Amino acid sequence: MKFERKDILGISELSVNEINLILETAESFLEISTREIKKVPTLRGKTVINLFFEASTRTRTSFEIAGKRLSADTINISASTSSVVKGETLIDTARNLEAMNPDVIVIRHSAAGAPHLLATLVKQSIINAGDGAHEHPTQALLDMMTIKEKKGKIAGLKIAIIGDITHSRVARSNIYGLTKMGAEVVLAGPSTMLPRDIEQMGVKAYTKLEDAIPDADVVMMLRIQLERQKQNIFPSLREYSQRYCLHSRNITLARKDAIVMHPGPINRGVEISPDIADDSSRSVILDQVNKGVAVRMALLYLLTGGNE
Ligand code: CP
């Protein structure tokens, strides 16, 4: 199958065939990261710009590593060290970067829709590395890759996503992706963190964690998005953790072989207790990070015409 897209803006627009192609391509790239010389010449001569207007450890580093392992030239730009601080607009920034002829621009921005705007303005491929509370497609792809590796499939699994659904771009992208791939997705969070019409996305939503995780194959915990909350939507972190933190007692409601996921960064003791986060028999949090490099290699490869 030829990959026809110019951009990766969201999971909502990807077909099951496209998701499968990305995951299969990523699987074929996994091995490169285990070699002594972790580099292939596939993207020699290509240029990737990582334009990050929000903080990031995992996404930015893995895009840079992904580009470098494929021999692309990678350039990182943070808003704080760019001319954005002098008042330059996103559109002017993008047009100036376009004039330097990169091949791919990866963007993270606090405004939902910022990557979509760029995609209409510049000829280069745009990858959404997280736009506000809207989508984080590469996170959902690496999550799906991790689930597929650990469980052998996605279709038919019960996947519980717990926490701040309203402000989570990770939740939204995973709901789109996991339901398309045939999983049963259930959510739990405080009513103030559950969008009113969320069940229209084909999921079940509960306000008690204990109602969502029974018999789950996968328990995906979300980070509390304090930076996106315009007002206090729960009384205190302590109260939140008493009701929604995953720990050694409530995890027993899930299947015995359930895996535990978290996109990071973790607020230990708030969303997930340290013993569960560090329990290598259940926690696949660092496997998710590992898959992130392969997924981003696959996207850079496919967008630059690698499988034509
Ligand atoms: N999961 C994720 O997007 O992490 P970063 O914010 O560190 O990139």
The atom number, within ligand 1, closest to the CA of 54 reads 6
For 218, the token pair is: 């996968």
Structure confidence at residue 306 (pLDDT): 81
In tens, the pLDDT along 238-263 reads 889 999 999 999 999 999 999 999 99
Residues with CB under 6 A from ligand 1: 56-59, 130, 139, 263-265
For atom 1 of ligand 1, the residue with the nearest CA is 263
Q: Ligand 1, residues 53, 54, 59: which to mutate, most atoms within 8 A of Cβ?
A: 59
- Output helix, strand, coil percentages for the chain, rounded to the nearest 5: 45, 15, 40
Residue 229, pLDDT score: 64
Mutate to test the pocket of ligand 1, among 52, 54, 58, 285 (most ligand atoms within 8 A of CB): 58
Q: What spacing in Å lies between the alpha carbon of 58 and ligand 1's midpoint?
A: 5
Count the Cβ atoms, other than its own, within 10 Å of residue 27: 16
Confidence band of 43 (pLDDT split at 50, 70, 90): very high
Predicted pLDDT of residue 126: 98
pLDDT in tens, 85-105: 999 999 999 999 999 999 999
Q: At what angle do helices 90-98 and 114-121 cross, to 10 degrees?
A: 40
Instruction: Show the 3-state SS of 177-220.
Output: HHHHCCCEEEEECCHHHCCCCHHHHCCEEECCHHHHCCCCCEEE
Tens-place pLDDT, residues 175-233: 999 999 999 999 999 999 999 999 999 999 999 999 999 999 999 999 987 766 666 66
**Number of the ligand 1 atom closest to the C-alpha atom of 62:** 8
* pLDDT in the model for residue 228: 64
pLDDT band, very low/low/confident/very high, at 236 (cuts 50, 70, 90) = confident
More confident call, 300 vs 84: 300
Return the residue whose CA atom lies nearest to atom 6 of ligand 1. 56
| Separation of CA 238 and ligand 1 centre (Å) | 24
Say if residues 282 and 2 touch (Cβ distance below 8 Å): no
State whether the Cα torsion 42-65-287-239 is positive or negative: negative
Q: Which atom of ligand 1 is nearest to the CA of 60?
A: 8
- Of 38-42, 54-58, 162-166, 304-308, the poorest mean pLDDT is in 304-308
Residue 137 is predicted with a pLDDT of: 98
pLDDT for position 204: 98
What's the pLDDT band for 271 if we cut at 50, 70, 90? very high
Percent of the chain at pLDDT > 90 equals 91
1 CA to centre of ligand 1 in angstroms:
30
Looking at residue 67, its pLDDT comes to: 98
Q: Which residue has the higher pLDDT, 118 or 235?
A: 118
Smallest CA separation from ligand 1 atom 3, residue: 59
